[in-house]
């Protein structure tokens, strides 16, 4: 009799209960696709083309056509996850006025090293005509707006 009870319990544990998760997966994919249209993830190659080719010169020469913000982050970083919706919002609000990029520091170690990123999140603010400034730690939406207006010289 006891063996039969174990068999029933074992059989019940094999019943799939996760069907709701598979229905939610497309929503997550849609968000990811929407984010990709607003924010470009840079590699060292695309960074050199769109922001600054650090392999050719140590002297900062911005390669972009408009100011940009570069979010150095990691997928496992709690503060990076907290700040991500703000970065997404900035990209949407300032679309066409500034470029917003992301760099995964685990994936792009060379870029993290070149810019001395030792803490994340770190955000590089790159104006069109002067040297960039790095900020480390969480940045609020109002602080982003202030830096974009005051340092990047861009307003909504």
What number of other Cβ atoms are within 10 A of residue 105's Cβ? 21
Instruction: Tell me if residue 68 is catalytic.
Output: no
135 C-beta neighbours (distance < 10 Å), count: 16
**80 assigned to active site:** yes
Catalytic entry in 20, 68, 77, 126: 77
Alpha-carbon 103 to chain mean position = 6
Please state, as a whole number, how many other Cβ atoms lie within 10 Å of the Cβ of residue 113: 11
The three-state secondary structure class of 42 is coil
Could you say which of 20, 68, 80, 126 is catalytic? 80
Distances 30 to 35, 75, 140 between C-alpha atoms, Å: 9, 18, 25
DSSP state of 76: T
- The closest alpha carbon to 102, from 84, 118, 129, belongs to 84
Residues assigned a catalytic role = 77, 80
């Amino acid at each position: 009799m006891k063996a039969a009870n174990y068999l029933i319990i074992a059989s019940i544990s094999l019943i799939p209960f996760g069907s709701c998760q598979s229905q939610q997966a497309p929503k997550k994919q849609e968000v990811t696709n929407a984010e990709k249209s607003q924010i470009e993830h840079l590699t060292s190659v695309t960074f050199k083309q769109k922001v600054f080719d650090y392999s050719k010169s140590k002297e900062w020469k911005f390669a972009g056509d408009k100011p940009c913000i570069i979010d150095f982050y990691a997928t496992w970083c709690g503060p990076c996850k907290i700040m991500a919706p703000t970065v997404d919002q900035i990209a949407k609000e300032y679309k066409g006025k500034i470029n917003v990029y992301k760099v995964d520091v685990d994936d792009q170690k060379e870029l993290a090293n070149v810019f001395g990123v030792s803490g994340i999140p770190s955000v590089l603010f790159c104006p069109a005509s002067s040297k960039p400034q790095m900020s480390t730690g969480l940045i609020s939406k109002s602080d982003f707006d202030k830096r974009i207006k005051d340092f990047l010289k861009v307003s909504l």
